[in-house]
Structure 1
Amino acid sequence: MIDKSCIGVALFGAGRIGNIHAANLVRHPRAQLRYVVDVHQPSAEALAGKHGAKVATVEQVLADPAIGAVVIGSSTDTHADLIMRAAAAGKAIFCEKPVDLDVQRARFCAEAVRKAGVICMIGFQRRFDPTFAALKQRLDAGEIGTPEVLIVTSRDPAPPPAAYIAHSGGVFKDMLIHDFDIFRWILGGEAVSVHATGGCPNMPDVAAAGDISHAAVTLRTRDGALCQINTSRRAAYGYDQRFEVLGSKGLLQAGNVRPTEVVVWNDNVISSDKPEAFFLERYRSAYALEIEHFFDAVVNGTSVRTTIEDGIKALELAEVATQSWREGRAIECSI
């Protein structure tokens, strides 16, 4: 039985995202970070020591009745196993995207969660970004009528190491999975057609790892609404995250977030800050808000906004996009 006055939490993963989640967990009034688990012992010890937690094994965490929830921020290849084991142990689950790189294995996870009757939330933090969420509210209120076209720009400031790319699942599962979730969230429909193309201009290391650095994807819903996603693993000016929705009565835009909103006007130039450096800075508020939402659901027994089914749907779109790119053709689907 979960103690809802103060929920004991175990964190899997002591890397970049683990550090973000740990800081948000210790600030939450109804969460108590008790354990940190990571295969790299020094990282686990450093993060646990920083927040007054203990280092533990997976087995110790899942056997402890004082642990009511787990937060999974470890490497992608551990997600499915941890979800299924945590579900079997009756723990509420928050897991970073993706559920897994294999769609069928992700579906096994969903079935395990369903059978256990536990809460499982997938970390699509962009839905919790204040600007994106405000656009969605205004869209749902009918401000621009019926949405007809969604255009998403999603660019990283620099590519990750080639060793990471080789095991990432590819750009569609690694990067665009967030954008596929935005497509489903904003347009509120499922894709019946996916056409993806891409290349590696001036990035031989990415090509050598079997991936692409730049991609463009067009999706179409059953009612004819279109989405165009453009992405790049390199944008010299910073982390570029924005989208716009064209509706029957107007347009809504959600722009980048900058460190400050100061703008300089002089006789040479009008300038402002570049976009935030990367995802940890850009989505700082979103990460805190999604953890808050997760614990609200655990405490109140309510549904989460980003379910494991949402995770599977985005993964299915990534899989179809990968097929489309490899085969050089549009793929008809029903996702």
Structure 2
Amino acid sequence: MRIGILGLGRIGAFHAETLSALDAVESLVVADPVADAAKAAAERFGAQVADSPEALLAAGVDGLVIAAATDVHPELIRAGLAAGVPVFCEKPVARTMAEGVGVLRDVRDSGVPVQIGYQRRFDAGYAAARAAVRAGELGALHTVRCVGLDPAPPPAAYIAGSGGIFRDCSVHDFDILRWVTGREVAEVYAVGGNRGADYIREAGDADTTGAVLTLDDGTLVTVSNSRHNARGYDVRMELHGFADSLAVGLDDKLPIRSAEPGVTFPEGTPHGFFMDRFADAYRAELTAFTEVVAGTRPSPCTVEDALEAGWIAEACTLSLRGHRPVTLAEVRTA
């Protein structure tokens, strides 16, 4: 099959590399407003260069991968829908929830499959945790702990357009929480601080946050995120039930060290960033997209799924600003 890629920045180039190695993908067509980025990808992966999204879609692609800036996600998704081409789009669906709801309506009307990029759903550890929860191995859950710590903050330009830490970082924890537990979030209470880069504070964002989420069955969840973790990229989940407990992310590359005498775990080189921590998951995610394109499976992460994570991020943002608990029902009607 022939896959088009719009956007050849860090994640777009990474996707191009991954797709070029998949047996199902015969050729790539790439486009980026920065001509040198498209040219570099074409030379590296033997791709055809298109000078616009319209030209790319006219090149006869079977599937469309969107890795461009968030602001243009809605229009590019709609372009794929109009062409009848299955779409893979990096999160988020749109800059605002109102825009995202509009995209969802158009996706439903079109009948064209759209997959949103939440790669943790394809990580072996998270998949095993989901299976354990669904099989009842842990008993009823009472506590879930999620951790997502970046080694360093993104640049100021990214922060200015990201929509805030809950929308661009914590949202991965919110999505995987729903996917693993099979439950919905009923209420949130979020706090945040800023003790690092000044440009994050100046953008009205926080660089370190904590949120307590209450699920619809009463399970308590903590979500801890930070832009600053000098030891590396740390993403984990703990699930505690009345019958057993389970953790995702406790491997030899865990970026933390033990203070206990004689304990050498973890012994490996810490994860440096998301692309090495989730390399296998990204490959599985894009393999799944080729199956969506081929019509052999439905979208494994729909626009509806992405918007559910987005509503949780919206509630946490409102909670942080208002210093109060916020229900999901409140933001859905705002």
- Cα offset, 1:273, TM superposition: 2.4
Corresponding position of 2:166:
172
In structure 2, what is the Cα distance between the partners aligned to 1:274 and 1:159? 21
The partner residue of 2:294 within 291, 299, 306 is 299
In structure 1, what is the Cα distance between the partners aligned to 2:243 and 2:262? 38
In structure 2, what is the Cα distance between the partners aligned to 1:217 and 1:180? 11
Note if contact 1:35-1:53 (Cα within 8 Å) is conserved in structure 2: yes
Residue 328 of structure 2 is aligned to residue 333 of structure 1:
yes
Q: Alpha carbons of 1:177 and 1:63: their partners in 2 closer, same or farther (altered >3 Å)?
A: same
Corresponding position of 1:4:
none
Note if contact 1:200-1:214 (Cα within 8 Å) is conserved in structure 2: yes
Q: Map of 1:248-267 to 2, 5 A cutoff?
A: 248-258=242-252
Corresponding position of 1:287:
282
In structure 2, what is the Cα distance between the partners aligned to 1:286 and 1:211? 29
Residue 179 of structure 2 is aligned to residue 185 of structure 1:
yes
The partner residue of 2:3 within 1, 9, 20 is 9
In structure 2, what is the Cα distance between the partners aligned to 1:310 and 1:259? 30
- Cα offset, 1:270, TM superposition: 3.0
Q: State which drifts further: 130-139 or 120-129.
A: 130-139
In structure 2, give the amino acid aligned to 1:316.
W
Note if contact 1:150-1:187 (Cα within 8 Å) is conserved in structure 2: no
Note if contact 1:190-1:221 (Cα within 8 Å) is conserved in structure 2: yes
In structure 2, give the amino acid aligned to 1:160.
P
Stretches (4+) displaced over 4 A = 256-260
The partner residue of 1:110 within 104, 108, 114 is 104
Q: Secondary structure at the match of 1:175?
A: helix
Superimposed CA distance per residue, residues 147-174 of structure 1 (whole angstroms, 9 cap, x where no aligned partner): 2221001100011122221111110111
In structure 2, what is the Cα distance between the partners aligned to 1:194 and 1:270? 37
Residue 52 of structure 2 is aligned to residue 54 of structure 1:
no
Corresponding position of 1:320:
315
Please, what TM-score do these two structures have when normalized by structure 2? 0.92
- Cα offset, 1:302, TM superposition: 2.2
Residue 133 of structure 2 is aligned to residue 139 of structure 1:
yes
The partner residue of 2:31 within 37, 48, 70 is 37
Residue 63 of structure 2 is aligned to residue 94 of structure 1:
no
Q: Secondary structure at the match of 1:252?
A: strand
Q: Secondary structure at the match of 1:87?
A: helix
Superimposed CA distance per residue, residues 218-252 of structure 1 (whole angstroms, 9 cap, x where no aligned partner): 11122111211001100011001111001121101
Residue 67 of structure 2 is aligned to residue 73 of structure 1:
yes
Note if contact 1:101-1:173 (Cα within 8 Å) is conserved in structure 2: no
Corresponding position of 1:199:
193
Note if contact 2:74-2:99 (Cα within 8 Å) is conserved in structure 1: yes
- Cα offset, 1:201, TM superposition: 1.9
In structure 2, what is the Cα distance between the partners aligned to 1:285 and 1:258? 16
In structure 2, what is the Cα distance between the partners aligned to 1:136 and 1:269? 29
Residue 202 of structure 2 is aligned to residue 208 of structure 1:
yes
Q: State which drifts further: 134-143 or 120-129.
A: 134-143
Q: Secondary structure at the match of 1:270?
A: coil
Note if contact 2:126-2:180 (Cα within 8 Å) is conserved in structure 1: no
In structure 1, what is the Cα distance between the partners aligned to 2:63 and 2:124? 25
Superimposed CA distance per residue, residues 103-149 of structure 1 (whole angstroms, 9 cap, x where no aligned partner): 11111111221111111000100111111111211222211112222
- Cα offset, 1:332, TM superposition: 1.7
In structure 1, what is the Cα distance between the partners aligned to 2:24 and 2:181? 34
Q: State the number of aligned residues.
A: 323
Kindly, what percent of the aligned residue pairs are identical? 37
In structure 2, what is the Cα distance between the partners aligned to 1:296 and 1:327? 44
Note if contact 1:152-1:242 (Cα within 8 Å) is conserved in structure 2: yes
Please, what TM-score do these two structures have when normalized by structure 1? 0.92
In structure 2, what is the Cα distance between the partners aligned to 1:67 and 1:210? 41
